[in-house]
Copies of this chain bind each other. A is one copy, B any other.
Amino acid sequence: MSKNIVLLMLLNQCIYMNIKVIALISCLCYGNHAWSQKADDDKIIRQIYDEALENGYAHEDLRDLCKNIGARLSGSKELEEAVIWGEQTLAALEPDSVYKQGVLVPNWIRSKKETGYFYSTTGRVNMDLSALGGSVSTGTNNFLSAKVVEVQGLEDLAKMDTNEIKGRFVFFNRPFNEKVINTFHAYGSCVDQRWGGANEAAKYGAIGVFVRSMTNAHDHFAHTGVMHYENLDKAIPAAAISTETANLLSAQLKNDSTLTAYMKLGCYTKDDAESHNVIAEIKGTKYPEQYITIGAHLDSWDLGEGAHDDGAGIVQTIEVLRIFKTLDIRPKHSIRFVLFTNEENGARGARRYAEMADRNNETHIAAIESDCGGFSPRGFNLDGSEKDMSRIKTLREILEPYGLYYFEKGHAGVDIGPLKNENPDILLMGLCPDSQRYFDYHHADSDVFETVNRRELELGAASMASLLYLIDKNMFN
């Protein structure tokens, strides 16, 4: 037996001793009363998971939302159908109240006729292409055609000479960094190309941009998403292209840097449209004036069915209410179940909700969001005071048997974020499902009901309900 192993064994013993010390100290701190509380909590958490897994409604609700309403972009009649659907589905669960909160949302419309192509050595290559959300058109029935300059991002563009860009398409082609384990971080490092690419390229006189889709997948889906213009007078059209198209275009440019690409987009923006957050409420038994919000966003992009983004979060939020009602869990604090509108291209629902909370002098102590897909839950991103985040981590022991191990500081969600403006100490928690498959479907025609596994979705709902139950019961007292 080597010295290393002896040291390892010593370390193990030290760790075990320390675990025993911790257990002892925990006993001293909690006393018998608190240990029986832990047993009570264990029992309720088990009931929550049982209810979600055995009698869950989330999957059938998602089928209904995806198949009978489908994609629901801000401004569309489908989004307002979803608002009615959400209101009715929540009301059927008999919370204390259900109401809508009106807000004006952007109204960008994709034309069905979107085309892009270029010529390779073997002939015309039709591009898998979708206008980015908010893009201007290429003019009525008009094709733009120009040479193409490939860049690896905004930094790359900034180093270039105006002459190299002027009158051309800029092709933003920096791929996701495959080495990054959490794909949301890879997304975060690439998405500036989509958000700001057209805006920056316009400053150099580019006539349009192609952006490599924000995905790890190698396939033919173009993934749309929001972009912006600082100056609408100088706006140029922008389209996502699939990773396969991007790879072909890049390879072809290496052979023929003078190739001409063609783009036709018919999208346009109308006046803002009326939309609504949908809110269900259960009054708190002990602290009715203190609110915990749990929610997701009802709108989606206009491609696919908005299944993972964010139909999953919506039906999970509704399922949490159903579980609370079915198990007769009566929270101490008031709980708001919120189906936010317009997360994708404006977050106006989120801002409206926070603004009304402020205007009504409401006290918001915590919020939970699900907007990372209906995959197997692995934990929660936390954003709050060090004290609150430490408290949450003590709850991990109860949740580990259900596969929830990850409780770390991180971005909790776009829709609950604005609540921080009112209360900087609010505890925000974002469900973290396994991230590997999310960007295969994100903002693309592939984001359909069939890609959501029933049990993974249900486990996410149970995880949200469990965390809500635990923080309501054990914190903020």
CB within 8 Å of B: which residues of A? 2, 4-5, 7-12, 14-15, 18, 21-22, 25-26, 29-31, 34, 49-50, 53-54, 178-179, 181, 183, 216-218, 376, 378, 387, 390-391, 393-394, 401-403, 405-406, 434, 436-437, 440, 453-456, 459, 474-475, 477
Q: Is the Cβ of A181 less than 8 Å from the Cβ of B436? A: no
Please report the C-alpha to C-alpha distance between residue A53 and residue B30 in the assembled complex, in whole angstroms.
45
Q: Is the Cβ of B11 less than 8 Å from the Cβ of A179? A: no
Please report the C-alpha to C-alpha distance between residue A378 and residue B375 in the assembled complex, in whole angstroms.
14
Extra pairs beyond A8-B391, A11-B26 (17, CB < 8 Å): A2-B477, A4-B474, A7-B29, A7-B34, A9-B387, A9-B390, A11-B25, A11-B29, A11-B30, A11-B394, A12-B394, A18-B22, A49-B181, A50-B179, A183-B455, A405-B406, A437-B456
Given contacts A11-B25, A14-B25, A453-B437, contact A4 B477 (CB under 8 A): yes
Chain B positions within 8 Å of A378 at CB level: 403
Identify A29's interface contact among B14, B49, B394, CB under 8 A: B14
Chain B positions within 8 Å of A394 at CB level: 8, 11-12, 15
Question: Min CB distance, A465 to chain B, in Å?
Answer: 15
A46: nearest chain-B partner, CB-CB:
B179
Chain B positions within 8 Å of A12 at CB level: 390-391, 393-394
Chain B positions within 8 Å of A218 at CB level: 454
A26: nearest chain-B partner, CB-CB:
B11
Chain B positions within 8 Å of A437 at CB level: 453, 455-456
Chain B positions within 8 Å of A4 at CB level: 34, 474, 477
Q: Is the Cβ of A181 less than 8 Å from the Cβ of B403? A: yes
Please report the C-alpha to C-alpha distance between residue A401 and residue B50 in the assembled complex, in whole angstroms.
30
Please report the C-alpha to C-alpha distance between residue A223 and residue B128 in the assembled complex, in whole angstroms.
37
Question: Min CB distance, A181 to chain B, in Å?
Answer: 6
Please report the C-alpha to C-alpha distance between residue A436 and residue B22 in the assembled complex, in whole angstroms.
34
Q: Is the Cβ of A453 less than 8 Å from the Cβ of B440? A: yes
Q: Is the Cβ of B14 less than 8 Å from the Cβ of A434? A: no
What 10 A-B pairs come out closest when comparing CB atoms? A405-B405, A2-B477, A14-B25, A53-B178, A11-B29, A436-B455, A12-B390, A376-B434, A7-B29, A50-B179
Chain B positions within 8 Å of A53 at CB level: 178-179
